[in-house]
Chain A
């Protein structure tokens, strides 16, 4: 519950402030968002598995975001930024899908 409330509060702050994303961060923000979504779904699945741990969730959330951004940054430096960010998005997307499938089975047995 508190996570959903936090999500809503963050969204409202973003809508109200309408901040400009710094140019240096622009390529990394979408990847970081996808990585955070992945961590969120992973956390929800762990919760339903009965293996949820706050500390692990926080660490994995932050490291997911940082690692994704670092991968894209490295790709940019190596000249394969577009391909690497596509790869990251694909991998994270697959994980989100499988996590969502696991959550679905937990909740609906289907």
Chain B
């Protein structure tokens, strides 16, 4: 009778399975005798069979420990081929997902960088434009080469129209920033005669001597002012004195705040 197959073919094995038949068990299998058997067997006896059993048990213990350690040590080494293939598939698919994510993120980053560059360029251009237009509109002080004109009066006042002609002459000669005394002159500047014969430039009273500072090409402006019958000649014609000096660098320091247009609005850009 084999040890491990006895339960399957022998009557005792079949008898043990249903728990409702303890009374049928023979006297040899009462717990007390079972314990006795166990104790008797456990007592060490150096028979050949016992030694063989011990050897087999040692083999089992050895194999058990080795297998447990082996299993704990290697993660992939003990897997079978199809399991390895599955793991490889998963890793590959995950890698592809990450790859495509990398591509998407790179594209997004490039987009953002380009957008930032465009925005930066637009801002720089806007700042540049603001500087240029600030000078032209009289909002910002300006430095540069130009002419300095001093118009003195003797006995008669210089009429506003003559002063305006000086401004027009400077504009024609390409003056980019002009001030007279402390008034910055712009595209909308005017000279009128105020009460008691004073001259108002853009509503500000200016008194002689009129000191003009104009930034532009000095020689062009200088010669434009002094041509026969020109602006300087007219000033002299009304009894004024004129001094025109070409200056390598002068500062137009007077500014004015441009008035926002009340009626004009920008033409909407054509879409």
* A interface residues with partner B (beta carbon < 8 Å): 1-11, 13-15, 18-21, 23, 26-27, 29-30, 32-33, 36-43, 45-62, 64, 81-82, 95, 98-99, 101-102, 105-109
Task: Indicate the member of A46, A82, A108 with the most B CB atoms within 10 Å.
Answer: A46
Given pairs A29-B67, A57-B56, A109-B31, 15 additional interface contacts (CB within 8 A): A2-B57, A3-B57, A8-B61, A14-B62, A27-B78, A27-B80, A36-B56, A42-B2, A42-B7, A43-B4, A47-B38, A48-B34, A49-B12, A58-B53, A82-B83
| B7 adjacent to A60 (CB under 8 Å) | no
Cβ of B55 within 8 Å of any chain A Cβ, yes or no, is yes
| B16 adjacent to A32 (CB under 8 Å) | no
Cβ of B29 within 8 Å of any chain A Cβ, yes or no, is yes
| B63 adjacent to A33 (CB under 8 Å) | yes
* Residue in contact with B65 in the complex, picked from A11, A49, A50, CB distance below 8 Å: A11
Smallest Cβ distance from B188 to chain A, in angstroms? 93
Cβ of B77 within 8 Å of any chain A Cβ, yes or no, is yes
Bound CA–CA A108/B30 (angstroms)? 9
Given contacts A21-B66, A21-B70, contact A6 B49 (CB under 8 A): no
Given contacts A39-B4, A51-B6, A99-B4, contact A2 B61 (CB under 8 A): no
* Residue in contact with A45 in the complex, picked from B3, B31, B35, B62, CB distance below 8 Å: B3
Given contacts A81-B80, A82-B80, A105-B16, contact A6 B61 (CB under 8 A): yes
Cβ contacts under 8 Å, A32 to chain B: 63
| A6 adjacent to B54 (CB under 8 Å) | yes
Cβ contacts under 8 Å, A59 to chain B: 2
Cβ contacts under 8 Å, A49 to chain B: 6, 10, 12, 29
The 5 closest A-B pairs by CB, nearest first: A42-B4, A10-B61, A54-B49, A14-B65, A6-B54
Smallest Cβ distance from B39 to chain A, in angstroms? 9
| A29 adjacent to B77 (CB under 8 Å) | no
* Residue in contact with A53 in the complex, picked from B1, B43, B66, CB distance below 8 Å: B1
Task: Indicate the member of A2, A23, A61 with the most B CB atoms within 10 Å.
Answer: A2
Closest-by-CB residue of B relative to A107 is: B34
Closest-by-CB residue of B relative to A21 is: B70
| B53 adjacent to A10 (CB under 8 Å) | no
| A57 adjacent to B61 (CB under 8 Å) | no
Bound CA–CA A99/B78 (angstroms)? 30
Task: Indicate the member of A21, A30, A36, A62 with the most B CB atoms within 10 Å.
Answer: A21
* B interface residues with partner A (beta carbon < 8 Å): 1-7, 10, 12-13, 16-17, 19, 22, 28-31, 34-35, 37-38, 41-45, 49-67, 69-71, 77-78, 80, 82-83
16 CB-based A-B contacts, threshold 8 Å: A1-B41, A2-B45, A3-B57, A6-B56, A6-B61, A14-B66, A15-B69, A39-B3, A46-B1, A46-B4, A49-B10, A50-B37, A51-B1, A54-B50, A58-B52, A105-B22
Bound CA–CA A44/B85 (angstroms)? 42
Cβ contacts under 8 Å, A82 to chain B: 80, 82-83
